[in-house]
Amino acid sequence: MNAGAFLKLFARNRLAAAGGLILVFVVLIALAAPILPLQDPYAQDTADKFLRPFSDGHFLGTDHLGRDILSRLIWGTRLSLVVGLVASFGAAFFGSIIGIVAGYFGGRTDNWLMRGIDMLMAFPYILLALAIVAALGPGLTNALIAVAVVNIPFFARNIRGVTVTLAHKEFVDAARLSGMTDIRIMLSEILPNVLPVIVIAMSTTVGWMILETAGLSFLGLGSQPPVADLGSMLGEGRNALITDPHASIIPGIMIFVIVMSVNLMGDGIRDALDPRLRSGALTRPMARTLVDRDAVPEPPANPALLDLQDLRTEFRVGNRTLKALSGVSLEVRPGECLGLIGESGSGKSVTALSVMGLVASPPGVIAGGAVRYAGQELLGAPFSELRELRGNRISYIFQDPLATLHPLYTVGDQIVEAIQAHRSTPNAQARARALELLNAVRIPNAERRLGDYPHELSGGMRQRVGIAMALANEPDLIIADEPTTALDVTVQAQILALLDDLRRDRGVAILFITHDFGVVAQLCDRVAVMYAGRIVETGPTDAILDAPAHPYTRRLIACVPRLGEGRRALHAIPGLPPAVDDLPAGCAFAPRCDKATDACRTGEITLAKSAANRAVRCLYPEGDVA
Ligand code: ADP
Ligand code: MG
């Protein structure tokens, strides 16, 4: 992330920005202490002790020895800030080394280091710091060491946790295979990845460390007279708290201001560095996609099971608007299988997720159109209604079953959960139903597999479990988003045959998303071809395969190899799909199309009905459909 984007996100958080400004101001004054026209902070004048603030020559008054409080405050702030910062850098440095080494090597090294850290953590925080200063002797340096030491466990544990997950990632294995030494891997592969965590941990602990150092000084164990940091000023003023409160209240307020501003700023840094928050406002995704549309389209005269009408889903990132869907209309009838096909990035997944309001908001917004399930409008429906439909009447199958199954529950438990989410079924009955479902999706040895964890299954079996969960509540519609893309061809064929059988036996409708015309040919009754967030052609599968009307469809079909046709050159489509934040006027495919004319590059091109049940969005469709 560049510095500009970081600052922008940071500034959006008002409190953090205010904290940052105050802190910068305090730091600048502390830095400027030597050149400011301040009095000597050590010059005593007992005749003028405990002067009130705003007295002549002493803006904030004097302390019990008649020393100027303003001067002492600024010098003390300087000292407190330096000590707090150095302590947190020290703790971060040693804590991170311990964390990275323990997490990277694991096993016995990890055990030894972490048990040492546990021993440090077993003592109460302040007590341990006191014990360390008692052993080393009072003094600011020793207080600094004590505060750094008691904070090492915090960093070590945090960084170890992050490193453990990184140490088994493929890129680290690749670095090992390339023959890099452990030290180099830790420095060049692990460290850059944990650095944001270190920065976040530091920004949230600096405030604490300043406070802890002040605490030790307050007890007389930190800075020694006549030198004073904020804590020892507070300690010295304490004796006169009732008679002359300003001597202790002023440093107290300063500690409060510094710690507050550091903590607010730390929270802001943490939020701005969190990758999930970068692309949107400073909020977590909502439970459903935000809907922000002007008008609701008229309901269709003859509602199907699922009607998408002119659906427009956008991603609003900063001041850019990515139009992932610019008006998608399609319908799925009961028991029908509709294939939605298009290149990667054409908006297929966004279409699928928009149906049930599953596009993450922010940044996703549904900016227009309607989604109707059996005539009922879903985009404006209350969330409880939507939740009632999710996984019950309409269910999903996703591409990567390992990512959608919970790693710590057995597949049996997860299917049972899917059933019980919508029907209060006794456990035994739900389990019997889970078994029945596993048999229905043809998992061998279903009884035993119920007790298996997702990692114990093969990819094809996991996808079958995904299908079983989708079937759990006998839905009317299954939305399958590239369910076979991660599988090898034989397993893909089995899964497709399975889906086809289920559809014929149970009459479920399927919206099948894929980028592969071969798969569509095998499974789908009708197909809708998508390009740059729009449907460009739709019709019965056979008709479209025989005589594609849109040049894009023709080229997509030309990319599919066919058996038994002898040698045939496979043509990749030249060029790339357009960026959705800058769609060209007219036909989005025009720049890649060999038939495009100037007319294709202006105005709106409609999805026109052509032959029976077919429609195409093209001025010069192929064949005789025109
Ligand atoms: P596919 O057809 O491969 O499934 P998608 O529907 O996932 O494509 O994506 C359609 C477009 O929306 C792409 O240009 C993608 O970059 C964009 N997009 C998807 N999710 C997000 C997001 N969270 N933020 C910004 N853009 C997104
Ligand atoms: Mg996708």
203-228: per-residue pLDDT in tens? 888 888 998 888 898 988 888 888 88
% of the chain surpassing 70 pLDDT: 96
**Cα dihedral angle (96, 98, 101, 105), rounded to 10 degrees?**
-130
Report how far residue 342's alpha carbon sits from residue 555's, in angstroms, rounded to the nearest whole number: 11
Strand (E) or helix (H) holding 266: helix 246-273
30-46: per-residue pLDDT in tens? 999 888 888 888 888 88
Going by alpha carbons, the residue nearest to atom 14 of ligand 1 is 345
* 574 pLDDT tier (thresholds 50, 70, 90): confident
**Token pair of 312 as six digits:** 């427009």
DSSP 188: I
Give residue 562's pLDDT: 66
Instruction: Please tell me the distance between residue 289's alpha carbon and the centre of ligand 1 in angstroms.
Output: 14
Look at residue 436 and tell me whether its pLDDT is greater than 50.
yes
Give residue 168's pLDDT: 86
Report how far residue 487's alpha carbon sits from residue 241's, in angstroms, rounded to the nearest whole number: 75
Look at residue 113 and tell me whether its pLDDT is greater than 90.
yes
* 624 pLDDT tier (thresholds 50, 70, 90): low
Instruction: Please tell me the distance between residue 346's alpha carbon and the centre of ligand 1 in angstroms.
Output: 8
Same fold, 55-277 and 286-483+507-515: no
Give residue 156's pLDDT: 95
Give residue 565's pLDDT: 64
**What are the pocket residues of ligand 1 if the criterion is a CB atom closer than 6 Å to any ligand atom?**
279, 315, 317, 322, 324, 342, 344-350, 360, 363, 580
* 568 pLDDT tier (thresholds 50, 70, 90): low
**Token pair of 430 as six digits:** 């739900």
Closest CA to 56 of 44, 73, 80, 39: 39
Q: Do 40 and 313 meet the contact criterion of CB atoms below 8 Å apart? A: no
Report how far residue 445's alpha carbon sits from residue 33's, in angstroms, rounded to the nearest whole number: 78
Specify the higher pLDDT residue, 48 or 306. 306
Mean pLDDT of 303-316: 91
Instruction: Please tell me the distance between residue 317's alpha carbon and the centre of ligand 1 in angstroms.
Output: 12
Question: Would you list the DSSP string of 446-471?
Answer: HHHHTT--GGGS-HHHHHHHHHHHHH
Atom number of ligand 1 nearest to Cα 352: 6
> Tokens 């209309």 correspond to what residue?
329
Report how far residue 208's alpha carbon sits from residue 530's, in angstroms, rounded to the nearest whole number: 55
Atom number of ligand 1 nearest to Cα 347: 6
Type of residue found at 535:
I
Report how far residue 103's alpha carbon sits from residue 485's, in angstroms, rounded to the nearest whole number: 34
Look at residue 232 and tell me whether its pLDDT is greater than 70.
yes
Specify the higher pLDDT residue, 309 or 604. 309
* 484 pLDDT tier (thresholds 50, 70, 90): confident
Provide Rg for the chain, Cα atoms: 33
Q: Do 229 and 30 meet the contact criterion of CB atoms below 8 Å apart? A: no
Look at residue 281 and tell me whether its pLDDT is greater than 50.
no
118-133: per-residue pLDDT in tens? 998 898 888 888 999 9
The overall average pLDDT reported for the chain is 87
Instruction: Please tell me the distance between residue 369's alpha carbon and the centre of ligand 2 in angstroms.
Output: 21
Q: Do 300 and 329 meet the contact criterion of CB atoms below 8 Å apart? A: no
* 321 pLDDT tier (thresholds 50, 70, 90): confident
Mean pLDDT of 319-342: 90
As its CATH architecture, domain 55-277 has Orthogonal Bundle (1.10)
Mean pLDDT of 448-473: 89
Atom number of ligand 1 nearest to Cα 279: 24
Please report which ligand is nearest the Cα atom of 328. 1
CATH of domain 286-483+507-515: 3.40.50.300
Mean pLDDT of 402-431: 90
Q: What are the residue boundaries of the structural domains of the chain, listed by start?
A: 55-277, 286-483+507-515, 525-626
Report how far residue 117's alpha carbon sits from residue 462's, in angstroms, rounded to the nearest whole number: 40
Report how far residue 88's alpha carbon sits from residue 266's, in angstroms, rounded to the nearest whole number: 13
Neighbours of ion ligand 2 (CB under 5 A): 349
The dihedral built from the CA positions of residue 533, 539, 544 and 550, taken in this order, carries a sign that is negative
Please report which ligand is nearest the Cα atom of 348. 1
Look at residue 100 and tell me whether its pLDDT is greater than 50.
yes
Look at residue 276 and tell me whether its pLDDT is greater than 70.
no
Strand 364-373 to strand 376-377: parallel, antiparallel, or no bridges (unpaired)? antiparallel
Going by alpha carbons, the residue nearest to atom 25 of ligand 1 is 315
Atom number of ligand 1 nearest to Cα 513: 4
Please report which ligand is nearest the Cα atom of 314. 1
Instruction: Please tell me the distance between residue 289's alpha carbon and the centre of ligand 2 in angstroms.
Output: 17
Q: Do 45 and 291 meet the contact criterion of CB atoms below 8 Å apart? A: no
* 50 pLDDT tier (thresholds 50, 70, 90): confident
Look at residue 443 and tell me whether its pLDDT is greater than 70.
yes
Give residue 361's pLDDT: 80
% of the chain surpassing 90 pLDDT: 35
pTM of the model: 0.68
**Token pair of 439 as six digits:** 């048999």
Give residue 503's pLDDT: 87
330-341: per-residue pLDDT in tens? 999 999 999 999
Report how far residue 129's alpha carbon sits from residue 89's, in angstroms, rounded to the nearest whole number: 17
